[in-house]
């Protein structure tokens, strides 16, 4: 593990811009399957959305802090786990929820509200939990997160494609009907290809350091999925909504996490490896979970 904090992954600014663009396409491919009425139902019955946001911004950071305290990893690895937990749900969660037969409108709403809320809540959660854990406190004292840059990033990669997709489906439903399935598979194919290429470009680093973070990321992701499921079950949400909350809590926006790490933490090795491994692992577990869930239809 010696030297992990000196590692800088091969993610250029251009690569991160491309990642944001790919995530925006994924978001658009989900948005064209939605209509304003889907969100109107959530306004009339906001409980699932509130439960999901509670799971995302309260339960997951608490579970993460417990994991960090129990395992006592290197400071940069610990802060990477805390940062990932502080990020909103990833755009891929909407696709996975859709494939799992869960409430895609709830998933998109959670992502949208969480992403806007992340402008305030992500820096707060990083500062709070990172500050409470003494080994990571020194790193945070040298860092300052710019909420304006976060707002611009999440707006371009989430809010804009969401609005455009819903409006296109509202005004040109025949066009979105033809685009829906091909665009969803195309966007996911491009996303997976990007992850594979990024992994290949950093293969040496992953071989050297993935062992230091792999177990923690796997346990962390399991805690996120389990925590989401437990909160939704205790809140007595329907299976249809429970699937969305479970997946949304377990699929984090590791792409945004990498952007923050390179923009504000100088690509700190342990943090970057954690976020990059999360980006791969949560896609594997999410798609696997969706395949299992889709075998049965969820009651609404």
Domain count for the chain, please give it: 1
Buried b / exposed e along 231-255 (16+ C-beta atoms within 10 A): bbeebebebbbbbbbbbbbbbbbbb
**Residue 1 pLDDT:** 45
Q: Which tokens go with 27?
A: 């978001």
**Residue 60 pLDDT:** 96
Kindly give the confidence (pLDDT) of every residue in the chain, 300 residues in length, as a single tens digit, with 9 standing for 90 and above.
446 666 666 666 666 677 677 777 877 877 787 777 766 766 777 899 999 999 999 999 999 999 999 999 988 899 999 999 999 887 678 788 888 888 888 887 887 778 778 778 888 898 899 989 888 888 887 776 666 666 676 677 777 887 888 888 888 888 888 887 788 778 777 767 776 776 676 677 667 777 778 889 999 999 999 999 999 999 999 999 999 999 999 999 887 787 778 777 777 778 888 888 888 889 889 989 998 888 887 667
Q: ∠93-106-178 over CA atoms, to 5°? A: 70
Q: Which tokens go with 154?
A: 């999440």
**Residue 245 pLDDT:** 95
**Residue 195 pLDDT:** 66
Q: Which CATH number covers residue 157? A: 1.20.1530.20
Residue 297 lies in a domain: no
Residue 15 lies in a domain: yes
Residue 158 lies in a domain: yes
Query: Quick check: helix, strand or coil at residue 79?
Result: helix
Residue 299 lies in a domain: no
**Residue 180 pLDDT:** 76
Residue 140 lies in a domain: yes
Which residues, 6 or more positions from 205, have their beta carbon under 8 angstroms from its beta carbon?
7, 9, 273
Residue 296 lies in a domain: no
Query: Quick check: helix, strand or coil at residue 89?
Result: strand
Residue 211 lies in a domain: yes
Alpha carbon separation from 161 to 63, 79, 101, 109, 193 (Å, rounded): 32, 30, 22, 13, 21
What's the rounded Cα separation, in Å, for the pair 205 and 106? 37
**Residue 59 pLDDT:** 96
Query: Quick check: helix, strand or coil at residue 252?
Result: strand
Residue 300 lies in a domain: no
Domain of 234?
Answer: 4-291
């Amino acid at each position: 593990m010696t030297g992990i904090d000196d590692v800088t992954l091969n993610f250029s600014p251009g690569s991160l811009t491309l990642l944001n663009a790919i995530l925006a396409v994924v978001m658009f491919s989900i948005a064209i399957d939605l209509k304003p009425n889907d969100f109107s139902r959530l306004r009339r019955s906001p409980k699932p959305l509130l439960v999901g946001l509670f799971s995302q911004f309260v339960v997951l950071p608490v579970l993460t802090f417990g994991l960090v305290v129990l395992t006592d990893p290197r400071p940069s690895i610990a802060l990477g786990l805390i940062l990932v937990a502080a990020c909103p749900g990833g755009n891929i969660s909407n696709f996975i929820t859709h494939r799992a037969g869960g409430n895609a409108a709830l998933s998109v709403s959670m992502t949208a509200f969480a992403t806007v809320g992340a402008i305030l809540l992500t820096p707060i959660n990083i500062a709070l939990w990172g500050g409470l854990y003494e080994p990571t406190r020194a790193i945070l004292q040298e860092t300052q997160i710019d909420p304006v840059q976060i707002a611009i990033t999440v707006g371009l990669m989430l809010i804009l494609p969401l609005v455009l997709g819903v409006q296109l489906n509202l005004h040109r439903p025949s066009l979105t009907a033809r685009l829906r399935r091909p665009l969803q598979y195309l966007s996911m194919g491009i996303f997976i290809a990007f992850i594979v290429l990024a992994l290949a470009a950093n293969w040496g680093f992953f071989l050297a350091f993935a062992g230091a973070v792999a177990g923690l990321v796997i346990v962390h992701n399991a805690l996120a999925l389990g925590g989401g499921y437990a909160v939704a079950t205790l809140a007595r949400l329907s299976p249809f909504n429970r699937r969305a909350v479970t997946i949304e809590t377990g699929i984090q926006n590791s792409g945004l996490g990498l952007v923050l790490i390179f923009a504000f933490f100088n690509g700190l090795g342990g943090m970057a490896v954690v976020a990059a491994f999360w980006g791969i692992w949560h896609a594997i577990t999410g798609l696997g979970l969706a395949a299992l869930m889709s075998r049965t239809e969820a009651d609404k």
